């Protein structure tokens, strides 16, 4: 029987990878992928807890919502990335400094 | 009609004020001088009041004796606690007499001034002052309470100052004005102290009043009030009399009057002979109820008066300035008036005031006419034989001289004789002084007339060239005044002589004035008619012989006075220099005062300025220290705060990169720290 700790270990790993990605990348698409990883780590966490608490439906629904949310987020974020590219000719976030005071 | 006259009475002082105002504004505006405009206004401003006064006089004479005292209230003025003084006029025989003199003689002198000042550039200014003087003098005389009288009293002093110093570019004349003002100030101070003393005492007795009519009853409550070892009334009377000696040029404050001759001659006639200088006499008459309560004060007044009469008459012998002789003669005649007041012969004093106003105004105006004709020469040693050149002036001058010398039946005889008669009843010594002064008066007046109009001519060629009789505007007043000087005495023919002239009522003036006056309780025993006749003849004899001596000494026997002067040079010098009184005052009062001034100036410079500068210096040092503390500590603290903040900013700025990754990084770090603390 796989214990919950194994799941949690995976989710933590996933989360840390995503976070690392977000913090270190300057490529907007790379950051976006990091964010997807964090969201997925959360989804996995939800499902894992639901499974071990015997309440599959609550956690599943949460996971489902997260997937939809991630899709919507990816759509919007990619649109922004495209328009950033149009504006600056690059998708490096370090270059998009128009709002800097 | 009658009531209307009283309601018009306020115009009497108001019109001269208005005239002064108009001419003053005119003079001030610097517009082109139109002489007829100026003198028309000035003359109207004094002549209309004269007509009103005559109307009021005629009306009052028709009233029964006991209602001949009318108080006309104009408007309320001071009302402070128990101190109530309204602007109101007291119309009674005494004030009416003076009002007639002021407006009547004032009109004549205004008219005379038109001719006399015809070459004067400051014509409008002159008439401004003259009208202003008439206003002040009328207020003095008409005011129904002491504060109003005092305002007039000060006002005439001011106008006298302005007119003596009329030609103020001449520093000697300006100084004469100042002297008059300062000497008067000494008297005025005593006057107001006396008045306040009277008022306070009355207030403490519960009879506070300043109104003359009410004072008459109120002062009876002062009987027996003592202040130290003197009775209060005596002190008040003496203080007020000192005020009178200032204004009316009596010993010891007479010194300003001879110097006051620096003013234009009509001014000398109006202010320094006819009106202002008699203010003291009027004041004593007005307050006769007070003075009658104090025989001691009356004695002082009588003594001072008669001594002044003799004292000034002697100086008159040696003076060579025609106006100075008249000035000393004025001092001397004023002495007679005070002598009369002092022996409680108030009517005689006012009578002499009246006749003196006539003949002395005439003499002054006559001397003005002479000076005018002589192109400004005032030294009688440089005149002589002017009789032919100035016939009208000579005639009027001569008649007035006979009047002042006391020759029967000219006005001076009656008034002077009445005074001497009362003096004789009071004290033989005073009478003797008075008679001596009268003899002196006759001699020095004739000396002046002789040196001016008779003998050989000592007129300089140039002055001879311009010699001319004065214009009509100057001779008419002379003739009117000479007429009054000759016949004015018949207003006060003594009872003992009345039946000789077939008069129904003798001594008109005495009866007329009686309601205004209060005499001492103890009437003096009067000597018999025989004595009176004898005294009359005696003083007449003295006057006539004085005149003859004066005439002879300065025409045929000119060697006698010269040899006398040579024989007793010290005495002559002493009198010629007016007993060195001016020098004495200068040494004792003026110089010491100046020394005190110097000392005070030095004190001011060294001590007061030192303290002030020291304070400033200390403040400067304190300010320096305070500034240093401010700069070092306070500013330091402020700057420190700023530095710390800015240093903090430099540090904090490092974290604010604008990169989201950095923030996340920091957030992660923070979470790790929290987790470490919480669970570690």
In angstroms, rounded to a whole number, what is the distance separating the alpha carbons of residues B422 and B300?
Answer: 16
Q: Which residue has the tokens 């009369």?
A: B340
- In terms of domains, do B586 and B473 share one? no
User: Among B17-26, B79-88, B182-191, which stretch is predicted with the lowest mean pLDDT?
Assistant: B79-88
* Domain membership flag for residue B562: yes
Domain that holds residue B336: 294-576
**B502: confidence class by pLDDT, cuts 50, 70, 90:** low
**Residue that finishes a domain, picked among B539, B560, B576:** B576
- In terms of domains, do B622 and B666 share one? yes
SS3 content of chain B, % helix, strand, coil (to 5): 75, 5, 20
Quick check: B136 and B200 in contact, CB under 8 A?
Answer: no
Residue B17 phi/psi, 5-degree rounding, is -60, -45
Q: Which residue has the tokens 């620096």?
A: B262
Q: Do B664 and A97 touch (CB under 8 A)?
A: no
Examine the pLDDT at A67 and tell me if it is beyond 50: yes
pLDDT at position A101: 57
Q: Which of B658, B664, B668 comes nearest A97 by C-beta?
A: B658
Pairing of strands B83-91, B70-80: antiparallel
In angstroms, rounded to a whole number, what is the distance separating the alpha carbons of residues B331 and B261?
Answer: 12
Instruction: For each of the domains in chain A, give its residue range(s) and CATH number, in order of start.
Output: 4-88 (1.10.287.3510)
Q: What would the pLDDT profile of B578-599 be if each residue is shown by its tens digit?
A: 778 888 888 888 888 889 989 9
Examine the pLDDT at A13 and tell me if it is beyond 90: yes
**A contacts of B661 (beta carbons < 8 Å):** 22-24, 26
**Residue that finishes a domain, picked among B558, B576, B594:** B576
In angstroms, rounded to a whole number, what is the distance separating the alpha carbons of residues A53 and B196?
Answer: 117
* Domain membership flag for residue B343: yes
**A contacts of B657 (beta carbons < 8 Å):** none
Q: Which two tokens stand for residue B670?
A: 């923070």
Examine the pLDDT at B462 and tell me if it is beyond 60: yes
pLDDT at position B337: 94
Q: Which two tokens stand for residue B385?
A: 């034989």
- In terms of domains, do B602 and B537 share one? no
pLDDT at position B665: 85
pLDDT at position B459: 82
**B521: confidence class by pLDDT, cuts 50, 70, 90:** confident
- In terms of domains, do B501 and B425 share one? yes
Return the higher-pLDDT residue of A95 and A14: A14
Q: Which residue has the tokens 């109530």?
A: B84
Q: Which two tokens stand for residue B13?
A: 């002082």
* Domain membership flag for residue B299: yes
Q: What would the pLDDT profile of B136-176 be if each residue is shown by its tens digit?
A: 999 999 999 999 999 999 999 999 999 999 999 999 999 99
Tell me which residues of chain B, numbers 600 to 659, contact chain A at a CB-CB cutoff of 8 Å: 658-659
Q: Do B660 and A93 touch (CB under 8 A)?
A: yes
Quick check: B403 and B359 in contact, CB under 8 A?
Answer: yes
What domain count does chain B have? 2
Q: If you compute the radius of gyration of chain B from its CA atoms, what whole number of angstroms results?
A: 36
**B470: confidence class by pLDDT, cuts 50, 70, 90:** confident
* Domain membership flag for residue B436: yes
CA distance B672 to chain A (A): 13
Rounded (5°) CA angle B131-B132-B133:
90
Examine the pLDDT at B22 and tell me if it is beyond 90: yes
Q: Which of A22, A26, A100 comes nearest B658 by C-beta?
A: A100
- In terms of domains, do B416 and B368 share one? yes
CA distance B675 to chain A (A): 15
**B contacts of A93 (beta carbons < 8 Å):** 659-660
Nearest CA in chain B to A93: B659
Q: Which residue has the tokens 């006396």?
A: B194
pLDDT at position B209: 87
When the pLDDT of each residue in chain B is averaged and rounded to a whole number, the result is 88
- In terms of domains, do B657 and B518 share one? no
Rounded (5°) CA angle B363-B552-B319:
45
Q: Does A23 touch chain B (CB under 8 A)?
A: yes
CA distance A95 to chain B (A): 10
* Domain membership flag for residue B492: yes
* Average of per-residue pLDDT across A54-67: 86
Q: What would the pLDDT profile of B637-671 be if each residue is shown by its tens digit?
A: 999 999 999 999 999 888 887 777 888 888 889 99
**Residue that finishes a domain, picked among B576, B607, B642:** B576
Q: What would the pLDDT profile of B360-382 be if each residue is shown by its tens digit?
A: 999 999 999 998 888 888 888 88
Global pTM value: 0.77
**B463: confidence class by pLDDT, cuts 50, 70, 90:** confident
* Average of per-residue pLDDT across A38-52: 90
CA distance B617 to chain A (A): 56
* Average of per-residue pLDDT across A2-30: 90
CA distance A29 to chain B (A): 14
Q: Which of A19, A94, A101 comes nearest B668 by C-beta?
A: A19
* Domain membership flag for residue B244: no
* Average of per-residue pLDDT across B614-618: 94
B526-535 long-range Cβ contacts below 8 angstroms, 24+ apart: B526/B425, B527/B424, B527/B425, B529/B496, B531/B424, B532/B421, B532/B494, B532/B496, B533/B496, B535/B417, B535/B420, B535/B421, B535/B424
Q: Does A94 touch chain B (CB under 8 A)?
A: yes
CA distance A82 to chain B (A): 19
pLDDT at position B1: 46
Examine the pLDDT at A100 and tell me if it is beyond 80: no
Examine the pLDDT at B503 and tell me if it is beyond 70: no
Q: Peptide bond preceding B432: is omega within 30 degrees of 0, i.e. cis?
A: no
- In terms of domains, do B604 and B537 share one? no
- In terms of domains, do B378 and B360 share one? yes
In angstroms, rounded to a whole number, what is the distance separating the alpha carbons of residues A15 and A45?
Answer: 10
Cβ neighbours of residue B678 closer than 8 Å, sequence gap 6 or more: none
Quick check: A36 and A70 in contact, CB under 8 A?
Answer: yes
* Domain membership flag for residue B94: no
- In terms of domains, do B374 and B498 share one? yes
Share of chain B above pLDDT 70, in %: 98
Interface test with B, best of A20, A21, A23 (most B CBs within 10 A): A23
pLDDT at position B284: 93
**B355: confidence class by pLDDT, cuts 50, 70, 90:** very high
Rounded (5°) CA angle B484-B487-B489:
100
- In terms of domains, do B571 and B610 share one? no
In angstroms, rounded to a whole number, what is the distance separating the alpha carbons of residues A41 and A43?
Answer: 5
Nearest CA in chain B to A98: B658
- In terms of domains, do B326 and B451 share one? yes
Interface test with A, best of B668, B669, B671 (most A CBs within 10 A): B668
Instruction: Write the ipTM.
Output: 0.77
* Domain membership flag for residue B660: yes
- In terms of domains, do B311 and B359 share one? yes
* Average of per-residue pLDDT across B412-429: 89
Q: Do A24 and B658 touch (CB under 8 A)?
A: no
DSSP 8-state class, residue A96: -
Q: Does B663 touch chain A (CB under 8 A)?
A: no
Q: Does B660 touch chain A (CB under 8 A)?
A: yes
Per-residue H/E/C for B601-624: HHHHHHHHHHHHHHHHHHHHHHHH
Q: Does A24 touch chain B (CB under 8 A)?
A: yes
Q: What would the pLDDT profile of B266-296 be if each residue is shown by its tens digit?
A: 999 998 888 999 999 999 999 999 999 888 9
Beta strands in B400-494 (DSSP E): none
* Average of per-residue pLDDT across B305-325: 90
Q: Does B667 touch chain A (CB under 8 A)?
A: no
Share of chain B above pLDDT 90, in %: 44
């Amino acid at each position: 029987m796989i214990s919950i700790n194994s799941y949690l270990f995976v989710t933590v790993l996933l989360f840390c990878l995503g976070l690392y990605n977000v913090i270190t990348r300057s490529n907007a698409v790379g950051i976006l992928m990091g964010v997807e990883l964090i969201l997925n780590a959360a989804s996995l966490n939800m499902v894992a807890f639901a499974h071990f608490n015997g309440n599959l439906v609550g956690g599943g629904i949460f996971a489902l919502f997260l997937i939809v949310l991630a899709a919507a987020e990816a759509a919007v974020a990619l649109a922004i990335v495209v328009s950033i590219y149009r504006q600056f000719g690059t998708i490096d976030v370090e270059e998009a400094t128009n709002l800097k005071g | 009609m009658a009531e209307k006259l009283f309601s018009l009475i306020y115009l009497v002082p108001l019109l001269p004020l208005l005239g002064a105002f108009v001419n003053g504004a005119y003079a001030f505006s610097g517009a082109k001088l139109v002489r007829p405009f100026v003198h028309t206004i000035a003359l109207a401003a004094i002549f209309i009041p004269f007509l009103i006064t005559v109307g009021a006089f005629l009306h009052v004479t028709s009233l029964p004796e006991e209602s001949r005292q009318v108080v006309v209230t104009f408007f309320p003025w001071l009302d402070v606690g128990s101190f109530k003084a309204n602007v109101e006029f007291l119309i009674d025989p005494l004030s009416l007499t003076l009002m007639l003199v002021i407006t009547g003689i004032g009109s004549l002198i205004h008219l005379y001034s038109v001719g006399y000042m015809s070459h004067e550039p400051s014509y409008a200014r002159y008439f401004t002052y003259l009208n202003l003087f008439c206003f002040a003098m009328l207020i003095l005389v008409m005011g129904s309470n002491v504060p109003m009288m005092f305002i007039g009293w000060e006002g005439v002093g001011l106008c006298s100052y302005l007119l003596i110093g009329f030609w103020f570019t001449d520093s000697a004349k300006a100084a004469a004005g100042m002297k008059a003002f300062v000497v008067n100030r000494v008297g005025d101070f005593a006057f107001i102290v006396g008045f306040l003393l009277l008022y306070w005492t009355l207030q403490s007795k519960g009879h506070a009043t300043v109104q003359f009519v009410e004072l008459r009853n109120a002062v009876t409550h002062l009987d027996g009030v003592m202040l130290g070892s003197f009775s209060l009334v005596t002190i008040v009377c003496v203080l007020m009399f000192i005020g009178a000696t200032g204004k009316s040029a009596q010993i010891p404050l007479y010194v300003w009057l001879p110097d006051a001759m620096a003013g234009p001659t009509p001014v000398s006639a109006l202010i320094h002979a006819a009106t202002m200088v008699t203010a003291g006499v009027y004041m004593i008459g007005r307050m006769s109820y007070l003075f009658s309560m104090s025989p001691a004060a009356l004695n002082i007044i009588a003594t001072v008066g008669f001594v002044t009469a003799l004292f000034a008459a002697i100086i008159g012998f040696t003076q060579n300035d025609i106006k100075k002789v008249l000035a000393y003669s004025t001092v001397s005649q004023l002495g007679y008036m005070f002598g009369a007041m002092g022996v409680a012969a108030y009517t005689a004093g006012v009578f002499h005031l009246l006749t003196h106003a006539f003949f002395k105004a005439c003499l002054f105006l006559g001397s003005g006419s002479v000076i005018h004709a002589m192109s400004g020469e005032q030294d009688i040693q440089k005149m002589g034989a002017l009789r032919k050149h100035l016939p009208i002036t000579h005639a009027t001058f001569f008649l007035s001289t006979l009047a002042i010398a006391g020759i029967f039946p000219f006005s001076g005889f009656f008034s002077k004789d009445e005074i001497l008669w009362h003096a004789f009843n009071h004290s033989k010594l005073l009478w003797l002084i008075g008679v001596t002064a009268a003899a002196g008066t006759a001699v020095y007046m004739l000396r002046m007339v002789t040196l001016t109009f008779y003998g050989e001519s000592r007129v300089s060629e140039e002055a001879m060239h311009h010699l001319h009789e004065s214009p009509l505007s100057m001779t008419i007043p002379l003739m009117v005044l000479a007429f009054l000087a000759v016949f004015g005495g018949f207003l006060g023919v003594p009872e003992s002589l009345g039946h000789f002239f077939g008069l129904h009522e003798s001594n008109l003036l005495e009866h007329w004035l009686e309601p205004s006056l209060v005499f001492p309780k103890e009437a003096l025993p009067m000597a018999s008619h025989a004595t009176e006749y004898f005294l009359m003849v005696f003083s007449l004899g003295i006057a006539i012989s004085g005149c003859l001596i004066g005439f002879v000494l300065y025409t045929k026997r000119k060697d006698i006075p010269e040899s006398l002067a040579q024989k007793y040079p010290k005495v002559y010098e002493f009198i010629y220099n007016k007993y060195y009184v001016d020098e004495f005052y200068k040494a004792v009062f003026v110089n010491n005062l100046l020394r005190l001034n110097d000392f005070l100036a030095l004190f001011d410079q060294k001590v007061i300025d030192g303290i002030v500068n020291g304070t400033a210096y200390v403040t400067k040092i304190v300010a320096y220290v305070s500034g240093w503390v401010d700069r070092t500590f306070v500013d330091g603290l402020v700057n420190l705060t700023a530095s710390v903040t800015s240093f903090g900013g430099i540090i904090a700025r490092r974290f604010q990169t604008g990169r989201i990754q950095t923030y996340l990084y920091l957030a992660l770090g923070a979470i790790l720290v929290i987790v470490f603390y919480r669970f570690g």
